[in-house]
Structure 1
Amino acid sequence: MAMHRQRLAVSALALAALVALAACGTVTGPGSAGSDGRGTGTGTGAVRDDPPLTGTRWGVESVTVDGRRSAAPAGAHVEIDANGRASGNYGCNRFTAEVRLDGDTLTVEPGTTTEMGCEQDIRQFETLLSRAFSGKLTAVATDSDLTLTTVNGDTITLTARPPVPLTGTRWRITTLVSGSTSSSLPAGTENKAHITFGEDGTVHGTLGCNSFRGAADVSGSTIAFGPLVTTRKMCPDPEMRLERALLAVLDGKRTAYRQVHRTLTLTAQDGEGIAASAPEE
């Protein structure tokens, strides 16, 4: 499995710099970042209300190539951490990357990506996005939107996505995990499995065919699931395979959980796990 690697030497200041550049051609200096991580413009010194570039989940809205716009599938995004690493999802496969920032120009270095099998239309979008998100890109930020333009005039449009709570969110299961290996769901079962945690310590959802409910005790970084009560329908083989894989992670198991913005991972003690995403707004 490959991972798409890029170095993004950008801080929260960079977004304010891009906004300032678009407005008046001035780039703020290193000392202009406020204590809350938001950049300050050099013209007025006022703190901007734009979301910081780091620590924000940037959802990919669309990619336009040769004048043809392609809408992004749910879950396509870019995230940038405080250490200058960008990671994200092309729509199915994940990536990391290194990027160099010079003024309003981002230079995206070659990197790596996972290689899961995906639906054909998503694969086509991933090809467009991965090709556009490379080389030199001109960045323009306005309010909560970010546009990246290639030297050929193709564009990537992104929007800041706020995080969601663990409870009350319908988490769509997207990936099966076994140790360090991630795999896509069985063909034909995409978008069929989901899980929702209640504030009262309950959990319910769908395993791809049968629905389930039970108890879920969230404590620190772990979730202890009680025995799950499920319906008893017989389903086609791909759905039953998905159901068995999910029960192996959830039914009566204690899992480690990690939530980053709109992505959730659950990993049982034996290394089996799942990844899920919240719906994009």
Structure 2
Amino acid sequence: MREQRMAVSVLALLTLAACGTDPGSGAGSGDGSGAVRDEVPVTGVHWNVSSLTVGGRTTEAPSAAHVAIDSTGKATGNLGCNRFTADVEVDGDTVTVGPGTTTEMGCEKDVQQFEKALGSAFSGKLEAAVAGSGDARTLTLTTARGDSIALTSEPPAPLTGTAWKVTGLASDGVATSLPAGTEDTAHLTFGEDGTVEGSLGCNSFHGKAEAAGSTLTFGPLSSTRKMCPGPRMKLERALLGVLEGSTTYTIGHRSLSLTAKSGAGLHASAPAARN
């Protein structure tokens, strides 16, 4: 896959500014009127692109379109099909996005058109406005032409109570695909009471799984005993090799990775929580 340099003006969101009325509160510089603009932190937030408005016409974004900003000023995400990365700068409520990189995957025609329009809108200086609080925030980026990008914050998925769908396996840190024909068959849900239940791809199961720090400790699992086609049984055996004893786990927004002491692992994803 080739990467192409392009001026992706992707969501420049390190810290966005909102006007304050108390000159003694928050941080920021005065605007000459005695007011101080407080900085609104948006780093570490997963922003879904909701829609794009160009020339007065609003188009709903593909479900994959999103951006996340780290503390170093790097924006990463997805334009709808292709992934991107770009550097950003913020001055008050003005956001400037520098040149970045994007992948060049072939996508559906309508998604390609959206990506092209989004790439054009994410250029030059953008005016940023944030509304709401906590996990219910919206972000609007407006171009000098009056076009705008609407985004919503999406909270990370919690370990417990989330229906984690198994999307891949791993061995000594190397990711591998699920056996052919077993996609969407395996899932697991952790309970607040230290239990786990779900499907191994063929048989359903339940048992104990206690979380402490970054460790999940599984007790013996009980499962049904159906016989299934070869690929599903292969997946089941692989998962049983992960869901035993002490494992380490990491959560990255809405993705979960488990690694057993043997080096066997699994990757899972949570359902999207778009507004």
Contact 2:203–2:226 (8 Å) recurs in 1: yes
Q: Measure how far apart 1:99 and its partner are.
A: 1.8
Tell me the residue number matched to 1:159.
Answer: 152
Q: How many residue pairs were aligned?
A: 256
SS, match of residue 241 in structure 2: helix
Q: Measure how far apart 1:161 and its partner are.
A: 1.8
1:141 aligns with 2:142: no
Which of 111, 118, 134 aligns to 1:132? It is 118
TM-score normalised per structure 1: 0.65
Contact 1:175–1:276 (8 Å) recurs in 2: no
Which of 48, 53, 60 aligns to 2:49? It is 60
Question: Structure 2: which amino acid aligns with 1:254?
Answer: S
Contact 1:63–1:129 (8 Å) recurs in 2: no
Structure showing the higher helix proportion among its residues:
1
TM-score normalised per structure 2: 0.66
> Is the alpha carbon distance of 1:227 and 1:47 closer, same or farther for their aligned partners in structure 2, counting shifts above 3 Å?
same
SS, match of residue 111 in structure 1: strand
Q: Percent identity?
A: 44
After superposition, where does 1:241-256 map in structure 2 within 5 Å? 241-250=234-243, 252-256=244-248
SS, match of residue 83 in structure 1: coil
Structure 2: distance between partners of 1:177 and 1:44: 54
Tell me the residue number matched to 2:100.
Answer: 110
> 1:149-201 CA distances to partner (integer Å, 9 max, x unpaired)?
68999865321123343222222333433445445545654444322111221
Structure 2: distance between partners of 1:165 and 1:131: 34
After superposition, where does 1:1-281 map in structure 2 within 5 Å? 12=14, 14-16=15-17, 34=27, 44-45=35-36, 52-62=41-51, 69-73=59-63, 77-88=66-77, 95=83, 97-101=85-89, 103=91, 104-111=94-101, 125=111, 128-129=114-115, 132=118, 136=123, 138=126, 140-143=128-131, 144-148=137-141, 156-183=149-176, 185=178, 189-236=182-229, 239-250=232-243, 252-269=244-261, 270=263, 272-281=265-274
Q: Measure how far apart 1:40 and its partner are.
A: 8.7
Question: Structure 1: which amino acid aligns with 2:118?
Answer: A
Structure 2: distance between partners of 1:248 and 1:152: 56
Contact 1:72–1:91 (8 Å) recurs in 2: yes
> Is the alpha carbon distance of 1:145 and 1:256 closer, same or farther for their aligned partners in structure 2, counting shifts above 3 Å?
same
What stretches of structure 1 of length at least 5 have no aligned partner?
Answer: 21-31
> 1:106-164 CA distances to partner (integer Å, 9 max, x unpaired)?
4253336698xx9x87x975895598358626353341222456899986532112334
Structure 2: distance between partners of 1:244 and 1:201: 23
Structure showing the higher strand proportion among its residues:
2
Question: Structure 1: which amino acid aligns with 2:16?
Answer: L
CA RMSD in angstroms comes to 4.6
Question: Structure 2: which amino acid aligns with 1:79?
Answer: A
What stretches of structure 2 of length at least 5 have no aligned partner?
Answer: 20-24, 132-136
